[in-house]
């Protein structure tokens, strides 16, 4: 233990160099925890990422149907010492290793729930994972979480989902939080330089960045693209990108694909957009929506999953009903027309979504199980 802060061992099945909500959250929490004088180890699947102090890779194989997810043997590496709390970010492989370590050393287990198993179904070949197997996986998740001393989730809708699954362990909402030092308003010169660097035209921009996964229903953006007066910009990559690009070639709209953007470019990307569009119904928080808001960009998102809570209607953006193309288009046009007013409201809420507040809440959870 360092001071009054417990020493934590985090176990995860996805980590750097993969960039997604889970890896970003683990990295951010760890950095802030150590800034406060604590110690947080990370146990993760080995990849081409070079570990730094207190990072412990475990031999693994890449999961063939989902880039960035790995299957590791459920074992604990050497180098963990004087651990006060185990914090798992997965119920599978390394989550099992974390559970075993916690029980062997008689320390509390905190489990964070980031992603429903159902999100991965679309990545498996037909017949590999039927609805019955998905149900079995959900039952396994429930049993795993019920073996923890505390469970954290990033949003109230996610907490409700776990309660519906029958999880009995105390569940606390701990928003993932974003780095408001990084995600900030960007000046006109930097926005202009971003447009020039990526060959983007003058005029309104509507866009999305993040994983191009089938479960995120990004086709809905192309459904409205011909009917809005804006260039549509996709940042990021993923298994759905190829099909999105093929379809974009066949519609009457200016659609650009920028590919993977370095994290240092994201503030300029978000700030260059007039509206960030986010049709994904499976988010447990939707960090990219909060990042966009922190840069002053309103979000139009589906009224489902965590986005129902993350987007404050009329302040930080607007909602539309899943599958309602006209509603999506109208909400986007409305946000375009009110972008300056919405921008002020987004910036006024920046500190409410910072990672510092998230780590305060996480420390309270750790205190509750010690």
Q: 244-262 pLDDT, tens per residue?
A: 999 999 999 999 999 999 9
Residue 36's contacts (CB-CB under 8 Å, 6 or more residues apart) are 5, 359
217 three-state secondary structure: coil
Q: Which of 54, 79, 57, 56 is nearest to 70 (CA)?
A: 57
How many angstroms separate the CA atoms of 22 and 14, rounded? 7
**Other CB atoms within 10 Å distance of the CB of residue 64:** 11
- Is residue 40 predicted with pLDDT exceeding 90? yes
Angle between helices 21-35 and 355-369 (to 10 degrees): 80
284 three-state secondary structure: coil
**pLDDT, position 67:** 60
E strands present in the chain: 8-11, 40-45, 55-58, 60-62, 70-72, 85-88, 109-112, 150-153, 171-173, 205-209, 231-235, 255-259, 275-278, 299-302, 317-320
Angle, CA 270 vertex, CA 356 and CA 116 arms, to 5°: 65
Structure tokens at 76: 């604990």
In this structure, the strands spanning 150-153 and 55-58 are unpaired
| Cα 58 to the center of its chain, rounded Å | 23
Q: 80-130 pLDDT, tens per residue?
A: 999 999 999 999 999 999 999 999 999 999 999 987 765 555 555 555 555
Q: 254-294 pLDDT, tens per residue?
A: 999 999 999 899 999 999 999 999 999 988 888 999 999 99
Is there a contact between 298 and 317 (Cβ–Cβ < 8 Å)?
Answer: yes
Q: Residues 319-343: what's their mean pLDDT?
A: 97
**pLDDT, position 1:** 39
Structure tokens at 137: 């996986």
Is there a contact between 158 and 285 (Cβ–Cβ < 8 Å)?
Answer: yes
Is there a contact between 87 and 10 (Cβ–Cβ < 8 Å)?
Answer: yes
Average pLDDT over all residues of the chain: 91
Residue 326's contacts (CB-CB under 8 Å, 6 or more residues apart) are none
Is there a contact between 219 and 247 (Cβ–Cβ < 8 Å)?
Answer: yes
266 three-state secondary structure: helix
**pLDDT, position 103:** 97
How many angstroms separate the CA atoms of 228 and 223, rounded? 10
Give the number of residues written for the chain.
Answer: 370
**pLDDT, position 47:** 87
Q: 301-326 pLDDT, tens per residue?
A: 999 988 998 999 999 999 999 999 99
pTM of the model: 0.83
- Is residue 19 predicted with pLDDT exceeding 80? no
Of the listed ranges 18-32, 121-135, 231-245, 320-334, the least confidently predicted one is 121-135
Q: Residues 129-137: what's their mean pLDDT?
A: 65
Distance, first Cα to last Cα, the chain: 12
How many angstroms separate the CA atoms of 202 and 37, rounded? 47
Which residues are registered as beta bridge partners of 321? none
2 three-state secondary structure: strand
pLDDT band at 2 (very low <50, low <70, confident <90, very high): very low
């Amino acid at each position: 233990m360092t001071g009054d802060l417990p020493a934590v061992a985090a176990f995860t099945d996805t980590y750097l160099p993969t960039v997604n909500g889970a890896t970003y959250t683990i990295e951010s929490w760890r950095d802030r925890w150590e800034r406060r004088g604590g110690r947080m180890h990370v146990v993760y699947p080995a990849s081409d990422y070079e570990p730094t102090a207190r990072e412990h890779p475990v031999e693994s194989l890449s999961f063939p149907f989902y880039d960035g997810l790995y299957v590791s043997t459920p074992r604990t590496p050497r180098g963990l010492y004087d651990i006060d709390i185990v914090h798992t970010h997965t119920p599978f492989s390394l989550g099992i290793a974390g559970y075993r370590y916690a029980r062997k050393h008689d320390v509390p287990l905190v489990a964070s729930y980031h992603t429903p198993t159902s999100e991965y179904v679309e990545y498996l070949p037909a017949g590999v994972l039927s609805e019955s197997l998905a149900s079995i996986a959900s039952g396994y998740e429930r049993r795993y979480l019920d073996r923890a001393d505390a469970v954290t989730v990033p949003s109230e809708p996610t907490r409700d989902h776990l309660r519906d699954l029958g999880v009995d362990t105390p569940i606390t909402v701990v928003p993932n939080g974003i780095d408001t030092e990084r995600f900030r308003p960007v000046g006109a010169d930097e926005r202009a330089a971003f447009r020039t660097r990526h060959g983007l035209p003058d005029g309104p921009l509507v866009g999305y960045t993040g994983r191009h996964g089938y479960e995120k229903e990004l086709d809905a953006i192309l459904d409205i693209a011909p009917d809005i007066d804006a260039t549509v910009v996709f940042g990021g990559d993923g298994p759905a990108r190829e099909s999105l690009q093929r379809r974009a070639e066949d519609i009457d709209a200016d659609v650009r694909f920028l590919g993977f953007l370095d994290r240092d470019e994201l503030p300029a990307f978000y700030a260059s957009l007039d509206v960030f569009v986010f049709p994904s119904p499976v988010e447990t928080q939707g960090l990219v929506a909060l990042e966009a808001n922190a840069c002053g960009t309103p979000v139009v998102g589906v009224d489902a999953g965590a986005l129902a809570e993350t987007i404050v209607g009329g302040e930080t953006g607007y909602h539309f009903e899943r599958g309602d193309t006209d509603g999506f288009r109208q909400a986007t046009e409305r946000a375009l027309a009110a972008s300056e007013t919405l921008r002020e409201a987004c910036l006024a809420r920046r500190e409410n979504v910072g990672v510092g507040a998230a780590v305060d809440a996480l420390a309270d959870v750790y205190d509750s199980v010690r």
